Amino acid sequence: MPLDFTPIRTARLTLRPLSPEDAAPLHRLVNDWEVAKTLARVPFPYPRELADEWIAATWAQMAAGEAWHLAIEQGGALVGCIGLTLDRDRPREERAEQRRAELGYWIGRRAWGQGLAPEAAGALCAWAFESLGLAEIHASALRDNLRSQAVLRRIGLRPAGEGVQPFLSRGAKMPVLLFRGDRAALAAARPAPPPKPIVLVAAVALVDSDGRVLLAQRPEGKSMAGLWEFPGGKVDAGETPERALIRELKEELDIDVTEACLGPFTFASHSYEKFHLLMPLYLCRRWNGTVRGAEGQKLAWVRVQKLADYPMPPADVPLVAMLRDFL
């Protein structure tokens, strides 16, 4: 079994190499006339032992760099298969620069109507253009298979004529529509990722009488645990950044700060994996009370020249140079 293929993950699916454990569910799903009748290379009825033989063959093809046939998995269950097979009818010397591959896929009937086919096909094609250096991907669909034609158009393949193809399941040659597309066409059809939510966080550089700046270490159990950051926190709905800081500084450091002592300094704008952070940074030199880690977090008073020695979250890092120049 191929061990060097990194599974392709989408919002709902995992595309991975097939395993022997997939043989039984694969046979159950594809040995269905409504599925098999749309597939050119699948016989019907589909013998159970053929599932084992085909899965083993996919490993050899992948190892040889000839084809990539993968399981479509949703929630840990096999729901279909998808694959790309390199064309072998081109001269060998052309294949490096003009590589073309044929796309094929099927989804078990119970998973129809969920949009899984274009999600899987789009992801596999994007991977193939990036990893295999393909020039073009092509596919075919029965002339009366409107659902499959819609999937191919949706991922960016365009009509490229008509043809006739033998179908094992039907025991006859059948009319098909041909589709093809290059990297640009499929990239243009790929849906833009949903916008990330914007999270507003207020932070403050507390500066003591010696010109040192306070850093707090993120505790275990939180994201980016162990990194050092400027004190502060998330701004709640209906709350101003200043009021959020006054609240957070009391909760985290047990100090009282007035809004008049918070001077707007600069801001950070950073895109994390799941959200975009917008973080205004304030300066504060006056407060009431003694700074302490009220939530058990470690604190450090740091000379501005030494701030860069403390590992910080990515959003905080650009602020260090600005503080160093100002203080």
Q: Which of 167, 189, 211 is the last residue of a domain?
A: 189
How far is the CA of 92 from the CAs of 132, 136, 309, in angstroms?
Answer: 16, 16, 55
pLDDT of the residue at 22: 96
Q: Give the residue ranges of the chain where pLDDT is below 70.
A: 1-3, 89-97
pLDDT of the residue at 222: 83
pLDDT of the residue at 18: 96
Asked whether residue 3 is domain-assigned, the answer is no
For residues 182 and 214, membership in a common domain is answered with no
For residues 184 and 44, membership in a common domain is answered with yes
For residues 167 and 286, membership in a common domain is answered with no
Q: Which of 137, 161, 189 is the last residue of a domain?
A: 189
Q: Cα–chain-centroid distance for residue 96?
A: 28
User: Rg for the chain (alpha carbons), in Å?
Assistant: 29
Q: For the stretch 259-273, what's the b/e string if a residue is b when 16 or more beta carbons lie within 10 angstroms of its beta carbon?
A: eebbeebeebeeeee
CA distance 169 to 33: 8
pLDDT of the residue at 327: 80
For residues 68 and 99, membership in a common domain is answered with yes
- Can you give the residue range of the structural domain that contains 157? 8-189
Question: Could you give the number of structural domains in the chain?
Answer: 2
- Say whether pTM exceeds 0.95: no
Decide the pairing of beta strands 13-17 and 8-9: antiparallel
Asked whether residue 302 is domain-assigned, the answer is yes
For residues 172 and 210, membership in a common domain is answered with no
pLDDT of the residue at 90: 54
For residues 113 and 31, membership in a common domain is answered with yes
